[in-house]
């Protein structure tokens, strides 16, 4: 029998009105129920019957990014990935402060939690046109076969804030994203109109799930360590 | 003591009241889009220009210079977005839409086959834009032909020496309050009820000072 593996629209891990008053039910109905859904549908129709059919979403994103010469399904695959990641980055009664290893690295790499927030906020306000802003864990790994870092240190792996246009995400550059905010205007226009600064402030103060970010950091660190070990074995 | 006069760029008002495009574009949308976003670009540009050697350029010169052959300088986005928005407001009028008048219609039929081909292509082009940007009907100066194309973010056809005739803002802020994610309705309403063929015609006449669209008319002595 023919097996058709369709990628599915994952619902946010909370009900659509549970981020109110910070993000309205109407915004989520449109943003998740319509924009996100349309990317899933479009992606499924573009990959049906191609070499991408049956691959996992991560692999589709990397394959279609095609080292910077994106194939047609890329924008939809990446937008599905980004939106899944965005919904999971926030929660009702979020905000507050991170703790443990995450806080430690934030303080090491940005000086303080508030300086990291400032940098994140500034990136979100200056992203021109549609796009995303990220906190990511950048492992020191070059995609060049024979490149070797002569003096590797723990600090090579660090937290960074960066922005990306339209659908691009740092995952395609081999970074491990930890947190993202959607700064496409559809993400905030109904609730905040053109006051993006308010949206970004509320996102950081009331919505971010630092538990999820911490958990992602653990995975990212483990992934980087596993790879470093593998590289050593190879060399 | 003489007063210092600073002649920076000003915010130009749309040539109609902010509620004059209702029900297709609401007063609130224009208050935010013109009074907030467009104004924001003017304020930011003036701040940049105040400490810059670019002071004194016309807007067109400023856009071409700061585009810097595709490696835009920091002023570019603000300058181009001011020009694009001014151009957009004047691309619309209350009771717009309908058919272009004779001479322009002829040119459209010549370059697109028919008005309905042109209309379909414009709508399709707008629907295909991914991310923020603009859709243009412009006169290509080398090909001497009307052409539809889209640009990302702040890119403005002036930078390639083309002569824009109509510009449609496809940034989400242009339509989200009024149309939400129904982009198709926004673009169709623009074509049917808002587009100003009056402005387009005036722009075509001006364009013909730079581009000869027919056989050269050489006066015979």
**Residue A182 phi/psi, 5° resolution?**
-85, 120
Of B77, B172, B173, the CB nearest to A128: B77
The number of residues making up chain B comes to 221
Dihedral sign from CA coordinates of B185, B191, B195, B200: positive
- State yes or no: pLDDT of A17 exceeds 80: yes
Cα–Cα–Cα angle for A48, A64, A149, rounded to 5 degrees? 150
DSSP notation for B72-112: --TTHHHHHHHHHHHHHHTTB-TT--SPPPHHHHHHHHHHH
The number of residues making up chain A comes to 235
Tell if the CB–CB gap between B152 and A194 is shorter than 8 Å: no
Average confidence (pLDDT) over B205-221: 83
Q: Which residues of A touch B171 (CB under 8 A)?
A: 129, 185
Q: Which residues of B touch A189 (CB under 8 A)?
A: 172-173, 176-177
Longest dimension (CA), chain B: 65
pLDDT bucket at A2, cuts 50 / 70 / 90: low
Tell if the CB–CB gap between A128 and B153 is shorter than 8 Å: yes
Cα distance between residue B95 and residue B77, in whole Å: 31
Q: What is the predicted pLDDT for the residue at A155? A: 72
Tell if the CB–CB gap between A130 and B172 is shorter than 8 Å: yes
Q: Give me the total of CB pairs closer than 8 Å, taking one residue from chain A and one from chain B.
A: 51
Strand-strand pairing, A158-165 and A176-182: unpaired
Residue ranges of alpha helices (H) inside B90-190 are 102-112, 115-128, 176-179, 183-189
Per-residue b or e along A88-99, where b marks 16 or more CB atoms closer than 10 Å to that residue's CB: bbbbeebbeebe
Q: Which residues of B touch A34 (CB under 8 A)?
A: 180-181
Tell if the CB–CB gap between B130 and A184 is shorter than 8 Å: no
Q: What share of chain B is helix, strand, coil (3-state, %, to 5)?
A: 50, 10, 40
Average confidence (pLDDT) over A135-153: 74
Of B153, B180, B181, the CB nearest to A129: B153
**CA-closest candidate to residue A215, choices A168, A172, A178, A166:** A178
Which tokens belong to B96?
Answer: 């717009």
**What is residue A197's three-state secondary structure?**
helix
Q: Exposed, middle or buried, B1 (CB in 10 Å: 0-12/13-18/19+)?
A: exposed
Tell if the CB–CB gap between A130 and B131 is shorter than 8 Å: yes
- Select from B28, B81, B130, B134 the residue whose CB has the most chain A CBs within 10 Å, as the one to mutate to test that interface: B130
Tell if the CB–CB gap between A185 and B37 is shorter than 8 Å: no
Q: Which residues of B touch A185 (CB under 8 A)?
A: 132, 171-173, 176
Of A34, A75, A131, the CB nearest to B181: A34
Tell if the CB–CB gap between A186 and B176 is shorter than 8 Å: yes
Task: Note whether B196 and B90 are within 8 A (CB).
Answer: yes
DSSP notation for A16-57: TTTTTTTS-HHHHHHIIIIIIHHHHHHHHHHHTTSTTTT--H
Least confident among B46-60, B98-112, B152-166 = B46-60
Tell if the CB–CB gap between A129 and B130 is shorter than 8 Å: no
Q: Which residues of A touch B130 (CB under 8 A)?
A: 75, 166-167
Of A75, A166, A194, the CB nearest to B36: A194
Of B132, B152, B181, the CB nearest to A30: B181
Q: What is the ipTM of this complex?
A: 0.91
Percent of chain A at pLDDT > 70 equals 93
**Residue A192 phi/psi, 5° resolution?**
-125, 0
Find the closest chain A residue to B37 by CA distance. Answer: A194
Q: Chain B closest CA to A133's CA: distance in Å?
A: 15
Of B130, B154, B176, the CB nearest to A189: B176
Q: What is the predicted pLDDT for the residue at B213? A: 85
Cα distance between residue A138 and residue A160, in whole Å: 7
- State yes or no: pLDDT of B6 exceeds 70: no
**CA-closest candidate to residue A207, choices A97, A95, A120, A82:** A95
Tell if the CB–CB gap between A75 and B130 is shorter than 8 Å: yes
pLDDT bucket at A108, cuts 50 / 70 / 90: very high
- State yes or no: pLDDT of B163 exceeds 90: yes
Beta bridge pairs of residue B150: B135
Q: What is the predicted pLDDT for the residue at A144? A: 65
Residue ranges of alpha helices (H) inside chain A are 25-30, 37-47, 57-65, 74-89, 100-110, 113-126, 189-192, 196-202, 210-234
Task: Note whether B209 and B146 are within 8 A (CB).
Answer: no
Give the other-Cβ count within 10 Å of B89's Cβ: 23
Average confidence (pLDDT) over A115-131: 98
Tell if the CB–CB gap between B153 and A194 is shorter than 8 Å: no
Q: What is the predicted pLDDT for the residue at B212? A: 86
- State yes or no: pLDDT of A140 exceeds 80: no
Mean pLDDT of chain B: 94
Q: Chain B closest CA to A209's CA: distance in Å?
A: 27
- State yes or no: pLDDT of A81 exceeds 90: yes
**CA-closest candidate to residue B104, choices B200, B40, B185:** B200
- pTM to 2 decimals? 0.92
């Amino acid at each position: 029998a023919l097996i058709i593996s369709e990628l599915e629209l994952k619902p946010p891990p909370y009900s659509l009105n549970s981020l109110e008053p910070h993000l309205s039910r109407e915004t989520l109905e449109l943003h998740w129920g319509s924009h996100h859904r349309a990317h899933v549908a479009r992606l499924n129709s573009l990959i049906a019957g191609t070499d991408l059919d049956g691959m996992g979403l991560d692999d589709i994103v990397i394959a279609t990014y095609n080292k910077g010469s994106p194939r047609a399904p890329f924008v939809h695959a990446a937008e599905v990935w980004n939106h899944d990641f965005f919904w999971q980055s926030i929660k009702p009664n979020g905000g507050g402060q991170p703790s443990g290893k995450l806080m430690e690295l934030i303080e090491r790499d940005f000086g303080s939690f508030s300086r990291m927030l400032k940098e994140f906020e500034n990136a979100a306000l200056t992203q021109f046109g549609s796009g995303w802003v990220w906190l990511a864990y950048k492992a020191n790994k070059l995609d060049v076969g024979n490149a070797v870092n002569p003096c590797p240190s723990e600090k090579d792996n660090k937290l960074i804030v960066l922005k990306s246009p339209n659908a691009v995400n740092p995952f395609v550059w081999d970074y491990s994203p930890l947190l993202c905010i959607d700064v496409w205007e559809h993400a905030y226009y109904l609730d905040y109109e053109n006051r993006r600064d308010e949206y970004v402030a509320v996102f950081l103060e009331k919505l971010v799930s630092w538990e999820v970010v911490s958990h992602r950091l653990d995975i990212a660190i483990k992934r980087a360590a596993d790879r470093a070990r593998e590289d050593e074995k190879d060399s | 003591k003489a007063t210092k006069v600073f002649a920076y760029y000003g915010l130009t008002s749309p040539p109609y009241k902010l509620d004059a495009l209702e029900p297709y574009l609401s007063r609130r949308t224009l208050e935010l889009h013109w009074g907030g976003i467009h104004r924001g670009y003017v304020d930011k540009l003036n701040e940049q220009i105040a400490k810059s050697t670019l002071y004194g350029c016309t807007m067109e010169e400023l856009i071409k210079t700061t585009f810097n052959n595709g490696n835009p300088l920091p002023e570019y986005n603000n300058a181009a977005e001011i020009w694009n928005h001014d151009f957009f407001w004047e691309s619309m009028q209350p009771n717009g839409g309908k058919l272009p008048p004779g001479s322009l219609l002829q040119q459209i039929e010549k370059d697109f086959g028919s008005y309905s081909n042109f209309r379909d292509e414009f709508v399709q082009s707008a629907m295909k834009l991914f991310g923020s940007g603009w859709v243009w009907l412009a006169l290509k100066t080398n090909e001497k032909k009307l052409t539809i194309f889209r640009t990302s973010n702040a890119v403005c056809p002036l930078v390639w020496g083309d002569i824009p005739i109509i510009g449609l803002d496809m940034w989400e802020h242009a339509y989200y309050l009024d149309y939400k994610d129904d982009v198709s309705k926004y673009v169709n309403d623009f074509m049917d009820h808002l587009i100003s063929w009056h402005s387009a015609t005036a722009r075509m006449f001006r364009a013909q000072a730079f581009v000869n669209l027919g056989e050269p008319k050489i006066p015979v002595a």
